[in-house]
Amino acid sequence: MNLTKNDSWCEVIISDEYSNQTIEEYLKSFWQFPKKLLHELRMEKGVKVNGEVKPWNSLILNGDHVGILLFKEEDYGVIPQNQSINICFEDDHLLIVNKPFGVDTHPNEKGQLHTLANGVAHHFEKNGLKTKVRHIHRLDKDTTGGIVFAKHALSSAVLDLMLSQRKIKRIYTALVEGNVKPIEGTINEAIGRDRHHPTRRRVSPKGDRAVTHYKKIGYIPKKNITLLECQLDTGRTHQIRVHLSFLGYPIVGDNLYGSKYKLLNRQALHASQVKFTHPFTREKLQINIPFPADIQQIIDDK
């Protein structure tokens, strides 16, 4: 799909696939506009066909040029802060950033600085983009890896829906203590709060459903460490950490959940891949997120 940004507008040339739809049908079928944003677009006269505002029951034809008001100026929602961010993918609609350890995804209180969102806001500002910083998902402060940000309201709405429908696949790599057997499996154990600790979670039959799939991808005999790839069907707080500890293989450096190894002063857990079909270009994206230096060093030192 050939999409072009022109100031606040996204312009597209209609292909035969969408020819003979009404404007409203096209906005719903291809762009997946939810009702609220569709209403705002209508009120703003935010659609043009061949440069003209037309009734939404008008048909669009093969070769028509359709402009959609997508890129509206907004407050960032966080304070832009000059800090380097490691960008793994970016286009007009979304951004994927490799979050370092020791950094919150976004401020937890008004005015907070030194979060990934502050760095993203500065990146937007530096590139002349005035839009709200919208994260699609989060990572624990000391978990590293890929986080997806939307660059406009429609992108946020569609990506949120894709995440809830599990159409955004995220693979995590965990370094765990011991030689994991069996080499792959599924942990289907509910997770709830640990009433003896303010932040810790635990496997509990009264907790929320939690499902983690894991696969062994390597073993370091010198250190007795297994590399696992994990995928989640659910998104509970500390889910991978709780489940792997419950299995008897705590993540290296994760003192909260029973790690005894002193190789790291944080958990060796990294969101290593993000995979989905781009909601607008329809490009199949598989973005591999580089390991931080300390985890890479453990992997390399065999």
- Distance between alpha carbon 90 and the CA centroid of its chain, in Å? 13
pLDDT of amino acid 205: 95
Give the integer Cα–Cα distance in Å for 290 and 85.
13
Give the integer Cα–Cα distance in Å for 302 and 299.
7
Q: Convert the pLDDT of each residue in 125-137 to its tens digit.
A: 999 999 999 999 9
- Distance between alpha carbon 168 and the CA centroid of its chain, in Å? 8
Q: Convert the pLDDT of each residue in 254-266 to its tens digit.
A: 999 999 999 999 9
Q: Are strands 269-277 and 144-150 parallel, antiparallel or unpaired?
A: parallel
**Is the pLDDT score of 2 beyond 90?**
no
Superfamily of domain 73-165: Pseudouridine synthase (3.30.2350.10)
Q: Give the CATH number of domain 171-270.
A: 3.30.2350.10
**Is the pLDDT score of 50 beyond 90?**
yes
The pair of three-digit structure tokens given for residue 163, joined into one six-digit string? 């995440």
Arithmetic mean of pLDDT, 3-25: 95
Do 73-165 and 171-270 show the same overall fold?
yes
140 is catalytic: yes
Arithmetic mean of pLDDT, 11-32: 96
The residue behind tokens 């290593």 is: 272
| Cβ density class 193-228: b for 16+ within 10 Å, e for less | bbeeeeeebbbbeebeebbbebebeebbeebebbbb
Q: Convert the pLDDT of each residue in 180-198 to its tens digit.
A: 999 999 999 999 999 999 9
Arithmetic mean of pLDDT, 206-224: 97
3-state secondary structure of 175: strand
CA angle 258, 260, 262 (to 5 degrees): 130
Lowest model confidence (mean pLDDT) among 30-34, 203-207, 298-302: 298-302
Give the integer Cα–Cα distance in Å for 110 and 152.
22
Residue 20 has a CB neighbour count (10 Å cut-off) of 12
Arithmetic mean of pLDDT, 80-96: 97
Cα-based torsion angle of the residue sequence 122, 126, 128, 130 in order, rounded to the nearest 10 degrees: 10
- For 287, the enclosing helix (H) or strand (E) is strand 284-288
Topology given in CATH for the domain delimited by 3-69? 3.10.290
pLDDT of amino acid 301: 85
Give the integer Cα–Cα distance in Å for 134 and 163.
14
pTM more than 0.85: yes
Any idea where the domains of the chain sit in the sequence?
3-69, 73-165, 171-270
The residue behind tokens 């624990």 is: 140
**Is the pLDDT score of 251 beyond 90?**
yes
Of residues 91, 92, 140, 160, which has the active-site annotation?
A: 140
Give the integer Cα–Cα distance in Å for 147 and 212.
19
CA angle 192, 197, 203 (to 5 degrees): 25
Whether cis (ω within 30° of 0) applies to the bond prior to 182 is: yes
Q: How confident is the model at residue 1 (pLDDT cuts 50, 70, 90)?
A: low
